[in-house]
Amino acid sequence: MSAYGLTGKIGVITGGSRGIGAAIARTLAAEGLTAVICGRDRAALDATAKTIRDAGGRCEPGTCDVTSLPDVQALATRVQSTFGRVDVLVNNAGVGAFSAPLHEMPPEDWDRVLNTNLRGVFYAIRSFAPLMIASGGGDIINISSIAGKNALPNGAAYSASKWGLNGLSYSVAEELRAYKIRVSVICPGSTATELSPHPGRDTSRMLQPEDIAHVVRMIVTQAPQAFASEIVLRPTQKP
């Protein structure tokens, strides 16, 4: 464990009810952070929060659709009134669309992917960065994908959202450095989650949600004079 611990810190994890987001919340809560998890499925949020609390951690669930600016602003207001600060923001909420080439994609599927994966991150940063600035600094971690660096046939909208997220992350990192806010982007390879189907692949050889959570933990416990602006994470063996 780094000397720069998480006890007493407040973290917001979007898409925190399952998969990568839930793993991040569990990992950071185990280190003393109070995890505020948000998503659209209240039952799943409550189940994840109970798991964290049963293990001795602190967790507050909150229903929030990241594609709705009023929803995200309401969550930020709740965090401010309850805790008075935020130290970590993990933009993890994401959706995929992998069933057809772009010229056959329904426009509503394009909107769903871009609005969640990219616009949702904008809304979260817009809502939480001022609170983080007032808190004196912190970490923003954006969960991207290796699809934001490589071609992804039949996943052009998803790939576009992640390329956009990478560019957003690099630029916002420069905007917020003066406020002692570190902005990092993680680009995982194939991960065993519900996000996309993996026909014919051995999921045991894929990245697991806990692998991404481990990287997030490393980032937020990094000594304050440095930060990892981008981490590409790959499975050791190809699935």
Q: Where are the domains of the chain?
A: 10-233
Pick the CATH number of 10-233 from 3.30.450.40, 3.90.1150.10, 3.90.780.10, 3.40.50.720: 3.40.50.720
How would you classify the pairing of strands 34-39 and 58-63? parallel
Q: Report the Cα 99 to chain-centroid distance in Å.
A: 24
**This model's pTM is above 0.85:** yes
pLDDT band at 1 (very low <50, low <70, confident <90, very high): very low
pLDDT tens, residue by residue, 166-186: 999 999 999 999 999 999 999
Q: Which residues pair with 124 in a beta bridge?
A: none
Q: Name the residues annotated as catalytic.
A: 158
Percent of the chain at pLDDT > 90 equals 87
Residue 209, φ and ψ in degrees, nearest 5: -50, -35
Residue 203 carries which DSSP code? G
